[in-house]
Every structure is written in C-alpha cells, then in structure tokens.
Structure 1
Amino acid sequence: MILITGSTGQLGQELVKLCQERGIAFRAVARPAFDFEQPESVAACFATAKPDLVINAAAYTAVDKAETDQDAARAGNHTGPLQLAQLCEAANIPFIHVSTDYVFDGAKGAPYVESDPTNPTGVYGTTKRDGEAAILNNTTAKAIILRTAWVYAAHGKNFARTMLGAARRFPTLRVVADQRGTPTAAPDLAQAILAIAARLQQTGWRPQYHGIFHATGSGETTWHGFATAIFAEAAASQKPPEVQPITTADWPTPARRPADSRLDCAKLTQVFGITLPPWRTSLGPIVQQLLTLDPPG
C-alpha cells in the first residue's frame, strides 16, 4: 500500500488518479490532517496507513513567499520530509521524495547532472536542498529523490493556467525570455513515479536506486517559449495575445530564479529505464483540459 502525501496538489492529484485507474492500493493525505508544521500529524498518518511505500508530494512551493515565511518553508521542505524519511527508515520501506531544480543557481550554462554542486539562490531552493541533504546524510532510508521543474497540470496554480487567464484580460503579455528550463506535466511525472514504484515491487530494493535522480519533461524552452506554446495550443478556443519577451531584470521578484535550470535526466533512464515525454507533446492535452475547466468567456 502506497501512502501519498500532498494529495491535493498538482502531482498528488495525478498520483491518486493513476492509482485509482490502475487498482493500486493507496492512502492519500493532505493538510490539515497531514501537516509538516504539525509533526504529530505526520506520525499519526503514517501509523494509521502502515504503508509499504511513501511518495512525498507535499512541499512548501510558494517561491517568493518563502523569503519571508521561512519557518513554514523549512518545515515543508526540510524538517518535515526528514521526519517522514525517518519513519520510512524505521519501517524499512522505500521513500520517494520530490525536489526541485531550484537547488541550483543556473550559472552552469549546461544541463545539470545529479552530482553537480548545489547553490540555491533563495529560501525555497535552500530549504529543498537542505531537505535532500538531511534525508541522504542523516538517515539510512531507502530514499529516492526526484528533482523536477516547471510542473503544471489541468488543476491547481501553475504557469499554464495563469497564462490562459491573463490572455483573457490583456491583449499583450510580457514574459521572461532569459530563464531556461523544461516544463514538466504532472501526469507524466506521476506516471514516472509509479513506474519506479512498480520496479521496486518487482525487484526489491537495490543499492543503485538510492539517491538523487532528475525527472523533467524532455527538451527545453524559456518561460516566453512556454507561454507562446500554450497560446498556440489554445488558439482555436481563444485569441492569442501578443507575447513580448522581457529579461529577468524587467520582472523583479522577491526570490531570484536560476537563469538556466535545465536538468540532465540520463541517470533516470539508465537506472530505471524511464524517460519522460517531450514537454511540447504533453502540453496540448493539458491546455485543452484547462480550456474545458475554465472556458473562455
């Protein structure tokens, strides 16, 4: 039985949906019943579920708010996940934890591999990095950490949904064009995680499974390129706006984003035989779902 935390988030909802479709036994938990800021709730949910595997899709993801809400970010991304990893360690079960490209500063100029030094530029990335390190260095848990990036889905708050909404209000949008990365569709990431879970069930735990893996959609783009592709997919339903490219300096935010956070996902393919689809291929169906859920006025 799989315990899925953060089950109301973008990834959590997709994991629940896939488990339901595939007849996989699971228990889904989220706030307020499961709250990393309330350690007793974490322990209680774990004890009740008695899982064989934990997938931690819960996190503090408000990148800019984290700059001032540091205690909550630390609980959601560092101390909370560490507690969950320790519970898995004590039960001798695997723990799959989702992390982020924001552990890097974006200065490498090439896709990052798992062994590259981390250097987060804000509180969010720092707490995620510290969570990774705590899990790997302070436990002997059967831990798999998946760094992903630019996650979006047909529900929740994400870039695709924001862009479609903004296009209905403004004929011209200004979008950052000097930050590079890879959009990752939450359904694709959920499928990859459950493929890992299936492998664990088939083979049992193996030493090469332990550690960090990168898991994003294939290919790359900028936020401007992502926005342009979103509007191309939606063009039959709503008039696309003019999308003006701007620089990061033109759009200041409380937290500094990495300029180039592309992730090399070869290790995931080598160890688990998993490659996420091209980001551009996965975009269309989700945009259509968003248009159905939030139809143009």
Structure 2
Amino acid sequence: MRWLVTGAGGLLGHEVTAALAAEGTDAVGLDRRALDVTDPDALAAAFARHRPALVVNCAAYTAVEVAETDAARAFRVNGDGPRHLAALCARHGARLLHLSTDYVFPGDTDSPYPENHPTAPRNTYGRSKRAGERAVLGLLPDRGAVVRTAWLHGEHGRSFVRTMTERARGHGPVDVVADLVGQPTWAADVARCLLALGHAPEASGVFHATNAGRASWYELAREVFQLVGADPDRVRPVAAVAFGGRAPRPRCTVLGHDRWQEVGLPAPRHWREALAEAMGRIG
C-alpha cells in the first residue's frame, strides 16, 4: 500500500515521511514546490503517477496573522486543497488523513473540547481550516479522517520551542504570553498517531492528535528554560494583548482524546514527557 504525503517539506511532513521510511512503508513525500494542492491538474497528475492508497495532507497555510488580510489564499490552500484531494481520493478509492487545528474552536471554555464539539473559529485561519474539514468529512464519510493538532514543535523548521531554546541560551528577561492555554505537541508524536490511523483501515471521522495535559505559552517557555539549564525565572508573564495582532486568538483550546480508545489505539502522552525527549533532537 503506497502512502502519499503532501506538504512533506514542513515541520510535520518531515516527521511523517521519516516515520514511514523508518518502518519501511512504500511512501512518496512531496513538498509544496513538487505539488501545489490548490492545482487540480497537478493533483490529478500526482495521483496518476503515484497511485496512492492513502494520502496524508500536511500541506497548509499557517500564517494566522497574515490570513486576516490574505483570506483568499488561506481558503485556497486550507479549504480548496483538501476538497480537491478528497474528491480524488473518492474517485480512486483512497483514504485521506487531513491535518487540521485547534483554531476551529472558539477557546471560550476551560474544559477539553471533545472531537464532536461544534466548531466556531474566531479568525480567518480557523475558518479556512474548518472549510477543509467539512470538505473531507463530506466527500469521504467512511474513508476520510480529520486529525486536529496544535502548538507543534519538532526537529525541523521554526517553532516556539526552538525560539525559546535559543532565547534561553542568551541573557536577560523574556516576555511570554501567559493567558493563552493549549497543548504543546511534538510533531514526532503526531506522526506516530497518523501512522497508527493509517494502519487502522476502519478509522474515520475526527481525531485529536495533541499531547495530553495543558499549558500556557509562559509555562511552556519556563519548561524549555528548565530543560536547557537556564533560569526559568528569566521568563516573565505578560498578557496576549501586549503583543497586539490582527487575528483574534482562542483563549483556551485543550482538546480531548476519547476517539483513540474507541478505535483501539493509544492516546497521545503528556506534553512534558514528549518535550523532554524532543529537546534532545532540536539542538
């Protein structure tokens, strides 16, 4: 069974293709230069050439702030792209695992959002990702899975964890937002979740692939400082409003993980355990 990974040049796409290679799975990874998911003709050609039985869509427009003034592009990548992929998968009998985000929720509760909770995004980025979710679930009700993740960090590309690691090795105080809460998530753990879903042929619907627990950006930064041997008291808590920005941000987007047990797969581990292991990789 051949897998096709779109967006293979990104932080998560790197981890997925590496995990597939490690287990010896027949897989093709295409970055955005090799495959533009907004181009139906290019997608059709990729399907004709590679004939995938399963597609993992890691391609995404993730510039949350820029999306507020670039909505058309955000919806092309995050809405139209998954729709084109889902239509091709339906035509060719393939499965699709589509990556989405916690930003489809408003962030107005302290309780974990279950997978079936109604979506109500607060910004353009979140609305564009919801459009992609709806396309996948509508066109592939039995062979499509929406996998929501959040606060990704990993070995490849930029992330908050990498930035804080660099700041920890410097000097002086570091101001970090303390009133936005979510789930720091190691991309390698998400890749493992995706492979597990891919090997479970009956798994479809919505899944949450975030590390367990919860933290503010401030708490995450302090943990990073602690792990690299820097003084965590250099991290100073500030309100999100201090950083401004066009895009409204959800206050608390902790995601529940009940569906993993329903399909007989292990739920993701706690973010602190994952971060401790990840820190050894990002250098």
TM-score range, shorter chain: over 0.9
Cα deviation, residue 65, structure 1: 1.3
How many correspondences in the alignment? 282
2:216 corresponding residue in structure 1 = 222
- Displaced runs of 4 or more, over 4 A: 138-141, 238-241
Which position in structure 2 is the counterpart of 1:250?
Answer: 242
Specify the code of the residue in structure 1 equivalent to 2:38: E
TM-score, L = length of structure 2: 0.95
Instruction: Read off the aligned partner of 1:10 and give its amino acid letter.
Output: L
Question: Residue 273 of structure 1 is aligned with which of 262, 265, 275?
Answer: 265
Q: Percent identity, aligned pairs only?
A: 37
The letter of the residue matching 1:275 is A
Alignment of 1:1-297 (within 5 A): 1-140=2-141, 142-200=143-201, 206=202, 209-235=203-229, 242-291=234-283
CA RMSD of aligned residues (A): 1.6
For residues 141-177 of structure 1, give each alpha carbon's deviation from its aligned partner in whole angstroms, at most 9, with x where no partner exists.
6101111111110110111111122334551111111
1:194-221, CA deviations, whole angstroms, 9 ceiling, x for partnerless residues? 0111222xxxxx3xx3311112101111
Residues 83 and 272 (structure 1), Cα distance of their counterparts in 2 relative to 1, 3 Å cut: farther
For residue 109 of structure 1, report the CA deviation from its aligned partner. 2.4
Task: Give, in whole Å, the separation in 1 of the partners of 2:257 and 2:14.
Answer: 24
Q: Tell me, yes or no, if the aligned pair for 1:196 and 1:272 is still in contact at 8 Å.
A: no
SS in 2 for 1:110: coil
* Structure 2 CA distance for aligned equivalents of residues 141 and 170 of structure 1: 53
DSSP 3-state at the match of 1:134: helix
Gaps spanning 5+ residues in structure 1: where? 201-205, 292-297
Indicate if the aligned counterparts of 2:152 and 2:186 stay in contact, CA closer than 8 A.
Answer: yes
Contact 1:33 1:41 in 2 (8 A): no
The runs of 5 or more residues in structure 2 that have no matched partner are none
Structure 1 position 37, deviation (Å): 3.2
The alpha-carbon distance between structure 1 residues 72 and 228, as it changes in their structure 2 partners (threshold 3 A), is same
The superposition leaves residues 236-279 of structure 1 with CA deviations (integer Å, 9 ceiling, x where unpaired) of xx666710011122221221211000001111222242211111
Which deviates further from its counterpart, 244-253 or 180-189? 244-253
TM-score for both structures, normalised by structure 1 = 0.90
Query: Which SS does the other structure have where 2:64 is aligned?
Result: coil
Q: What is the Cα deviation at residue 179 of structure 1? A: 0.9
